[in-house]
Structure 1
Amino acid sequence: MSINSNYTVFNRITRLNETGYLVCFDAPPHTVSDGLWSEKENGRTPMKSFLPLFELQVLIIFALTKSTTFVLKPLKLPEFILQMIAGLIIGILFELKGMEKYMSVVFPYGTHDIISAISSIGFVLFIFINGVQMDFSMITRTGNKAWAVSIVGLAIPLVAGITPLLMFPEKIIAIETNNGNGLYVALVSHAISSFAVIASLLSELQIQNSELGRLSLSSALVSDLLSTIITTNIIAVRTGSSFNVISTNLISLFILAVFVPLICRPILLLIIKRTPEGTNVKDSYIYVIISMVFALGVISVKIGQDFVLGAFIFGLSVPEGPPLGSALVKKLQFFGPTFLLPIFVTTSVLKADFSVDFSSFVMVSTGMVILLTHVVKIAACFITALCCKMPVNDALCLSLILNTKGVVEIGAYHTLFDSNVIDGKTYGVMMLSTMIIGTIVHWSVKLLYDPSRKYAGYQKRNIMGLKRNSEPRILLTVQKQNHISAATDFLDICCPTPENPIAVDVIHVIELVGRALPIFIPHCLQRQASNSASHKSYSDDIILAFDIYEHENENAVSINTYTAISPANLMFEDVCNLALDKVASIIILPFHIRWSSDGTVESDDKKVLRALNKKVLEIAPCSVGILVTRANSIAKATPINSITSEYSITRLAIIYIGGTDDDEEILCLARRAMNSPRIKLVVYHLVSKDCIAELEDLMIIGDEILEELKHSENVQYQEIFTKDGSQTAGFLREIVTEHDFFIVGRRHGSMSPQTDGLSEWSEFPELGAVGDFLASPDLNSWASVLVVQQQLSLRNELNGWVL
């Protein structure tokens, strides 16, 4: 069948034989065209010029990918699978009658390699970024469980696959010859695990900082490094034609792997040292580093290795995290993984030959090797995990995660196909196996593993459930330094004394940028390995501040500090896990907005803090309090009198409506605060004018805590009768300047006449109707506001279900 030159990027095509053609094109080739309506004498038409053709192809690929994502969204497929499906659709359109003519115009013969070569830059940057995000030092701190699972999961499948080769070498070689070298590739590629692929899977499932996610990443880190050593040595041996060549390749590989980190890492650390804290790395440094990525890629090709090997080794040499690692990730994330990588995946599928039937020798033999390799690997990882005393469900999920396939395998198969190591049919089988395995693992793990199930307990964890004078456990969440003073102000409200001490856990949450492995550091047990400069500078001030507070309240407060570095959308896991482990009674979260004294917004962090607060409110294993502070909010507290002016009082107001567990919780906090000479406590009991009878019933029944507060000499109790939300708002507006601190219940989902209408004007539902009104900058108030929600699971349990 002859090829029409009109449907190619070439000027003329002459057929030489059954499979060969002589092509003619201009040198240098046309990059840009003269436009749709220009003269065609020079031949620079859009479909014969590379840039407009490339732009059109990119547009079509992205349109198909987004359409596929929208249509198949209910299936919840991995992102790279949707990009592969877009490639399958384009391939199918080529085969449809009536469409091949139009597809040949859009994707003419000769352009597949061009768009693939350009988009492969995205794959190189993807590998480099994942190398940057790897914390290579973690390899020395990875636990025995991760080492055991990764080594056994890698060694057993390889041994099981190599055994038949040693026992029946002639038969295996004959099968391999007829199979396009697919058996070796299938065995090795499906026995190894890729850190980048597993990190992407865990990110899509949003479980990378769960217990299973951390173990999976640690195991993948070990497995990926061992796999890289094995595959690079195999390539070095197979590409050598003699002993001298093989020796040269191995020595060159050793030099590349050893001297690049030894030379480059000190230089990169010097760049970090010369970058002032809090400032960005200079763009000139970034551009030099990117140039080195491609230079090392060329060097790796010169020694017979893949282009991406140099980028991967150099990525491992870059110090992960801020300022350099995060700067590189931010600079390259869009151009590489976001823009070019999807094009690379789609065009890689276009090259595959899917014309194999299920009875063909290639399909059966390669498919059997892939199936047996995965069965052996899953069994090996599963049994090893069980021996390490992991739960059955978690062990199965771990073995599935370590067997997943993705973009890295696609890039490897693409390189092997372009190098004529495997043929088109074997390449097609490999692509299908990647799609099937990636989909099965994604669905299976999502079905089997639910990290939130551990929060669905029946144990009461709140202030109200504590015995009288028992030690409450409080978890303070801090993100910025200005949250420290607000947190210590709340601790003062809790009135810690040697007779009534409190236990406090402080967690400093930091957004994970420029690294892939989440980090959790208990500073009370901090080892030398955890005391690196990369995260020491973040928490030092916070640790020091709470150490000073603990020293000032000796025998009254015990404080343990922690640092959690994790993705913004998964910070709640660290907070809730710590609250669960420490049996906390209440979690205190900072509000995402901080107002200055004149009512302007001083800081606003919707992306991290507000998302964290909302998620913790949903699944917290204990009560939750959101603390709204303003600049210098407690600084205006007034001295008690001239004699006791060594300390100042805090004018604390409790807004109590009743009828919900949230309101009972704030009364428990008030009972602790009333014994402090530094606190002037006022309890405002808002009662509806239409519910006087209910108030009388309440007096007859008698709420113990409310009765205790009413008859305490240290508490001023007032009953305020309001008809609706407007009267409540008017009353709150009158008293807002008389107090330094308010504690209110969130009352989520509860309706009462006292707040009727207030919720319609609420801007932040997480604060409740009253809390949102008190936090409004329109009130021109200095007061802090604590909005308390009791443990949700208790309420849901009463309704017959648990979160």
Structure 2
Amino acid sequence: MNTATLNATTTSYGHVSNKTLWMCEQFSRSARSGGIFFGDNPLSYTMPVLVLQSSVVGLVTTTLKILFTPLGQSSFVPQMLGGLALGPSILGRISAVRKYVFPPRTFYVSETIAFFGSMMFMFLIGVKIDLMSLMRTGRKTWVIALLSFAIPIILTLVAAIILRRLFLLPQENLYNSIFYISFFLSSCSFHSTASHLADLKLLNSEIGRLSVSSSMISGTISGVLATSLFSHHSLSKDVSSFRMMISFLLLVAFIVFVCRPIMMWMIRRTPEGKPVRESYIILIFLMLLLCALFSELIGEHFIIGPILLGLAVPDGPPLGSALSEKLDGLVSAVFLPLYFLFSGTRFNSFVLEATSFSVVQVLAISSFFGKVLGAMLPSLFCKMSLTDSLSLGLIMSAQGITQLLYLQSSLYLNIIDTQTYGNVVISIIWLTGATLPLVKFLYDPSKRYLAINRRRTIEHASPDVELLLMACLHNEENTPSMINILDMSNPSEQRPICFYVLHLIQLTGRATPLFIDHQSSSNKSSSLYSSHSQRMINAFRSYEQQNQGKLVVNLFTSISPYETMHDEVCMQAAERRVSLLIVPFHKRWSSNGVVTESTHSIRAFNRQLLRTAPCSVAILVERGTLNRNNPLTSVSFYSVVVVFIEGSDDRESLVYAMRMADHPNVSVTVVRLIEPRRKSRNLMMRDIDGDLIHRFKVEYCIQIKRHDYREEVARDSVEMINVLKSFDGCFDLIMVGRRHANREFSSLFNGMNEWNEYPELGVVGDMLVSSDSTYNGSVMVVQQQILGFSGGGGGCYGGGSGGGHHGGYHHPDFHPDFHHLRQERPLNIPEVPRDTRVWPMV
């Protein structure tokens, strides 16, 4: 028999005592069983029970995430509820579950793994923090950070003094710990804020950037004060405190002057574009364990060393990204659920008492209002809207894993008891659970550009001012095709072009998105990320030099999550008043016919742009000669065909092609598909489509002989497909509208929806690009801006765009409801100065 000394609050369900509890259990030297065929009960051994616990808590947590995520909850609430559900308050009260799934002997192992998981999680959050961004934050961020920490502290301490005198007795544990509880509830945490924002997909929104940078400052202050409080409570001699402080400074010096230089050496030894060596990752992991051990040896919390080491790791590629990619999945899927299970086993609802419960909830509410007020006051003073200010305050008030770690440390040091722990956990869960859905309901980052009521299309742009275009590139292979499209767009001194290039990079290895302006950039802080875009920059700069006076190219790099990348792109397009946004298709065809398919996230990104872009959107499918010609080294000739049926998207593609037709090395052919029963009406009636076709024939076909116009009669989809097949081998680029007017009444599209492989390309574009298509040229699918009535614009050279009525309609693939957005105050977008900027999106 094995006699173990266990604390009742951690090993006994439903039994709480401040005394030592002696338990006798059968002891086995082996952690593994021989299996049921050898007469063993696997649930009598540690290893099978630990695997069972991990499986059960993972299943419960995942199920709760599926249920709560649509309601606007972050992952923290379902994870915490999963831990509570398996704790002594619910399933833990069932004797069979307590005996076989959660026996006391396994909690030594599961608790160790749980704390190891929390250590790894906090280390990874530290890896993703860019400390340099703190140096670049403005006065507004510092004011929000300080007030959102100071005001809740003051309100909660005042409430604690009053409640302590009125409702608590000196012999109660809460009487002595109430001021600690006030601090824990008022504390801020970057880790919690960043996790909530990532779950809500608001990291690169306006309030996301502001709350992340503010929580970095307030969270640092909270962490320093929490460490001081714990140290003061655990130490009684000044000499011990002095030694502990010296040891802590030695730990910091070791991380800064030994560990970080080693990591910088690793980065220098890693070739650009190559993965980090496994030996480097193992060495950093050993540093992590060593720092955690040293923190425990000097009396600090074991998590302090890993957090400091994580902050010392250079964020982003190659090292920060490699650590995140290798550890994120394991930590979030395996270790963290076990940590929340352990947190739930510390909670027992049957020991709660009404008075102390009420006191803690009042303190929590005081802290909540203090944080909201502290964030809202400076935001309103800086002219933020009431909705945005309230959303910022709600995000800053949400709590998470950092507060749990504070509580567990307090429980370990006997600052609080199990009853107080349970009361605070309840307050954290219900306040966070009520706050985050409100944020999702109140704040929509897309409203800033969807509410724009100005026309941003090529069709309605004035022909005598510069054309504002924006292109998104995911990798270097997109560069040749985009330069060819830019060359075909015919920049000239009479009709110049302002071309914005956004290199989009998936956010890995850092928590805060980053936006880099490469205009004559010499800022050293951008050099690491600029290297990923350098070849693109060189190519576009060379083309700009060849076309001085005709073209201005502005290059940027945006590093953000793909789930929210469309918000950043749309905001940039709105601020710069572009008329057309060009994005590459998620598939590429090489010269030998090999198809390269990008990640699913790029396709989802394109579909989001089609829904929300504040301008026209063109999806470029790169193949054929378009991605092989190089206008930097040779003169290229292009043949373009426009498939015109009817509708605003077809007009947008034709107007863009008419601009290309002015280029001496571009020939444009317009093929209009007409149904027999509508042929006479289309030819005789002077509709808006007919006016544009007539203009093309008069200005280009008659005056410039290299251009052509023809009409093809098609009775059904089969004849339309035959017309499209006739283009094979004749043209470098096919331009087509994504949507077509009266599509549901046209015989040309009967039965085509059932065979639509890529709905984002429309019916005609899908026929040209689908897997059974034989066409080997490039395709550009154009969608005219969905929103907007009239307006003007500006750009690199100045000027504006004309107005016009919106002739588009919504495609059945997308059903956005924009009516409520038109009631918003129109976005006032100032002119954007062309300067050198590198700033984190925080």
TM-score (norm 2): 0.86
Q: Bigger CA drift: 155-164 or 516-525? A: 155-164
**Post-superposition offset of 1:356:** 4.8
1:712-791 to 2 correspondences below 5 Å: 712=700, 713-714=703-704, 715-747=707-739, 750-751=743-744, 752-776=746-770, 778-791=772-785
Distance in 1 of aligned mates of 2:507 and 2:288: 23
Relative distance call for 1:709 and 1:18 in structure 2 (3 A) is closer
Pair 1:630 & 2:623 matched: yes
Distance in 1 of aligned mates of 2:686 and 2:660: 23
Relative distance call for 1:346 and 1:270 in structure 2 (3 A) is same
SS at match of 1:402: helix
1:528-539 to 2 correspondences below 5 Å: 528=523, 530-533=525-528, 535-539=529-533
Distance in 1 of aligned mates of 2:346 and 2:787: 53
* Letter in structure 2 aligned against 1:342: P
Distance in 1 of aligned mates of 2:78 and 2:425: 13
Distance in 2 of aligned mates of 1:176 and 1:292: 45
Relative distance call for 1:75 and 1:695 in structure 2 (3 A) is closer
- Residues 572-598 of structure 1 show CA distances to partners (whole Å, capped at 9, x for unaligned) of 111101001011111000111111233
Relative distance call for 1:669 and 1:448 in structure 2 (3 A) is same
- Residues 609-636 of structure 1 show CA distances to partners (whole Å, capped at 9, x for unaligned) of 2111110001000100001111643647
Pair 1:313 & 2:308 matched: yes
Pair 1:86 & 2:82 matched: yes
**Is the CA contact (8 Å cut-off) linking 1:149 and 1:381 kept in structure 2?**
yes
Pair 1:671 & 2:664 matched: no
Q: Bigger CA drift: 257-266 or 17-26? A: 17-26
Q: Bigger CA drift: 18-27 or 645-654? A: 18-27
- Residues 708-766 of structure 1 show CA distances to partners (whole Å, capped at 9, x for unaligned) of 21122222111111111111111221222111111110116834333444444332111
1:598-609 to 2 correspondences below 5 Å: 598-601=592-595, 603-609=596-602
**Is the CA contact (8 Å cut-off) linking 1:637 and 1:740 kept in structure 2?**
no
Relative distance call for 1:75 and 1:700 in structure 2 (3 A) is closer
**Of the candidates 467, 480, 487, which is equivalent to residue 485 of structure 1?**
480
**Post-superposition offset of 1:608:** 3.1
Aligned to 2:271: 276
Query: What 5-or-longer segments of structure 1 have no aligned partner?
Result: 9-14, 639-644
Pair 1:687 & 2:674 matched: yes
**Post-superposition offset of 1:173:** 11
Distance in 1 of aligned mates of 2:406 and 2:643: 64
**Post-superposition offset of 1:61:** 1.8
Relative distance call for 1:670 and 1:75 in structure 2 (3 A) is closer
Distance in 2 of aligned mates of 1:332 and 1:648: 48
Distance in 2 of aligned mates of 1:665 and 1:63: 51
Relative distance call for 1:334 and 1:684 in structure 2 (3 A) is same
Q: Flag the structure with more relative contact order, 1 or 2, with Cα contacts below 8 A and sequence separation at least 6.
A: 2
**Of the candidates 644, 650, 670, which is equivalent to residue 638 of structure 2?**
650
Relative distance call for 1:646 and 1:157 in structure 2 (3 A) is closer
**Is the CA contact (8 Å cut-off) linking 2:82 and 2:340 kept in structure 1?**
no
- Residues 93-120 of structure 1 show CA distances to partners (whole Å, capped at 9, x for unaligned) of 76798x3344333222343343222222
Relative distance call for 1:741 and 1:102 in structure 2 (3 A) is closer
Q: Bigger CA drift: 576-585 or 215-224? A: 215-224
Q: Bigger CA drift: 503-512 or 757-766? A: 757-766
* Letter in structure 2 aligned against 1:306: H
Q: Bigger CA drift: 409-418 or 691-700? A: 691-700
Query: What 5-or-longer segments of structure 2 have no aligned partner?
Result: 9-14, 789-805, 811-816, 822-842
**Post-superposition offset of 1:472:** 1.9
Pair 1:254 & 2:249 matched: yes
**Post-superposition offset of 1:786:** 0.8
**Of the candidates 357, 364, 369, which is equivalent to residue 363 of structure 2?**
369
Relative distance call for 1:444 and 1:236 in structure 2 (3 A) is same
Aligned to 1:554: 548
Distance in 2 of aligned mates of 1:312 and 1:635: 49
**Post-superposition offset of 1:521:** 1.3
**Of the candidates 191, 212, 217, which is equivalent to residue 217 of structure 1?**
212
SS at match of 2:494: coil
**Post-superposition offset of 1:131:** 0.4
Aligned to 1:52: 48
**Is the CA contact (8 Å cut-off) linking 2:642 and 2:653 kept in structure 1?**
yes
**Is the CA contact (8 Å cut-off) linking 2:727 and 2:775 kept in structure 1?**
no
**Is the CA contact (8 Å cut-off) linking 1:94 and 1:103 kept in structure 2?**
no
* Letter in structure 2 aligned against 1:718: R
Relative distance call for 1:198 and 1:173 in structure 2 (3 A) is same
Distance in 2 of aligned mates of 1:682 and 1:271: 56
**Is the CA contact (8 Å cut-off) linking 1:132 and 1:514 kept in structure 2?**
yes
* Letter in structure 2 aligned against 1:683: V
**Is the CA contact (8 Å cut-off) linking 1:260 and 1:314 kept in structure 2?**
yes
Distance in 1 of aligned mates of 2:483 and 2:346: 62
**Post-superposition offset of 1:513:** 0.5
1:496-507 to 2 correspondences below 5 Å: 496-507=491-502
**Is the CA contact (8 Å cut-off) linking 1:300 and 1:309 kept in structure 2?**
yes
TM-score (norm 1): 0.90
Aligned to 2:832: none
Relative distance call for 1:251 and 1:155 in structure 2 (3 A) is farther
* Letter in structure 1 aligned against 2:650: D
Relative distance call for 1:491 and 1:38 in structure 2 (3 A) is same
**Is the CA contact (8 Å cut-off) linking 1:69 and 1:82 kept in structure 2?**
yes
- Residues 303-354 of structure 1 show CA distances to partners (whole Å, capped at 9, x for unaligned) of 2211111110000111111111111111111221221101211221121132
Aligned to 2:282: 287
- Aligned-residue Cα RMSD (Å) equals 3.1
- Percent identical among aligned pairs is 30
Aligned to 1:296: 291
**Post-superposition offset of 1:90:** 2.5
* Letter in structure 1 aligned against 2:562: A
**Is the CA contact (8 Å cut-off) linking 1:296 and 1:310 kept in structure 2?**
yes
Distance in 1 of aligned mates of 2:155 and 2:65: 39
**Is the CA contact (8 Å cut-off) linking 1:627 and 1:786 kept in structure 2?**
yes
SS at match of 1:111: helix
**Of the candidates 143, 146, 154, which is equivalent to residue 148 of structure 1?**
143
Aligned to 2:422: 428
**Is the CA contact (8 Å cut-off) linking 1:634 and 1:740 kept in structure 2?**
no
Distance in 1 of aligned mates of 2:431 and 2:157: 22
Aligned to 2:337: 342
**Of the candidates 559, 568, 572, which is equivalent to residue 566 of structure 2?**
572
Distance in 2 of aligned mates of 1:472 and 1:313: 50
* Letter in structure 1 aligned against 2:367: T
How many residue pairs get aligned? The number is 777
**Post-superposition offset of 1:696:** 2.7
* Letter in structure 1 aligned against 2:62: K
**Is the CA contact (8 Å cut-off) linking 1:121 and 1:336 kept in structure 2?**
no
- Residues 504-563 of structure 1 show CA distances to partners (whole Å, capped at 9, x for unaligned) of 111111100111000011223746254232x02111122221111111111111111111
**Post-superposition offset of 1:233:** 2.5
SS at match of 1:736: coil
SS at match of 1:703: helix
* Letter in structure 2 aligned against 1:745: G
**Of the candidates 320, 324, 336, which is equivalent to residue 319 of structure 2?**
324
Aligned to 2:200: 205
**Is the CA contact (8 Å cut-off) linking 1:464 and 1:668 kept in structure 2?**
yes
**Is the CA contact (8 Å cut-off) linking 2:540 and 2:553 kept in structure 1?**
yes
**Of the candidates 192, 205, 208, which is equivalent to residue 187 of structure 2?**
192
SS at match of 2:335: helix
Relative distance call for 1:223 and 1:420 in structure 2 (3 A) is same
Relative distance call for 1:698 and 1:113 in structure 2 (3 A) is farther
* Letter in structure 2 aligned against 1:598: N
Aligned to 1:616: 609
**Post-superposition offset of 1:139:** 1.3
Distance in 2 of aligned mates of 1:240 and 1:708: 87
Distance in 1 of aligned mates of 2:257 and 2:97: 54
Aligned to 1:35: 35
